[in-house]
């Protein structure tokens, strides 16, 4: 049996119907979808403020452009911090190497 894929708009429509009717089983039978699948969509919608996350390359479609800009800025800051930490680690490794060499020469 081939796995079916549903669009985000269709999922939102089904969730709206479930909320309006208050009967998940009835809506799932109407659309010929497993009740557990519809129940999961409703739960996701409740957790995300009434929006179903999309499935485009793992990126939720409910993220606003402002949130994307903020996340990109945070990513940039974290990348800078990672570079600084890598340099500090390299400096420490070099210092340890020099100190080991000095200890060997003393012995």
Q: How far apart are CA 84 and CA 66, in angstroms?
A: 27
pLDDT band, residue 59 (cuts 50/70/90): very low
Alpha carbon of 103 to those of 28, 45, 96, 97, 99: distances in Å?
Answer: 75, 64, 10, 10, 6
What is the pLDDT, as a whole number, of residue 8?
85
pLDDT of the residue at 33: 92
8-43 confidence digits (pLDDT tens): 888 989 998 988 888 999 999 999 999 999 999 999
SS3 content of the chain, % helix, strand, coil (to 5): 70, 0, 25
Q: What angle do CA 30, 55, 31 make, to 5 degrees?
A: 5
- At residue 102, what are phi and psi to the nearest 5 degrees? -65, -40
């Amino acid at each position: 049996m081939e796995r079916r894929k549903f669009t985000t708009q269709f999922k939102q429509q089904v969730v709206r119907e479930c909320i309006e009717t208050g009967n998940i089983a009835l809506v799932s039978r109407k659309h010929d979808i497993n009740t557990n699948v519809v129940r999961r969509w409703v739960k996701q919608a409740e957790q995300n403020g009434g929006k179903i996350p999309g499935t485009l390359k793992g990126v939720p479609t409910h993220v606003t452009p402002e949130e994307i800009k903020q996340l990109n800025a945070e990513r940039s800051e974290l990348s800078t911090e990672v570079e600084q930490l890598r340099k500090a680690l390299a400096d420490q490794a070099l210092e340890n190497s020099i100190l080991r060499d000095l200890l060997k020469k003393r012995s």
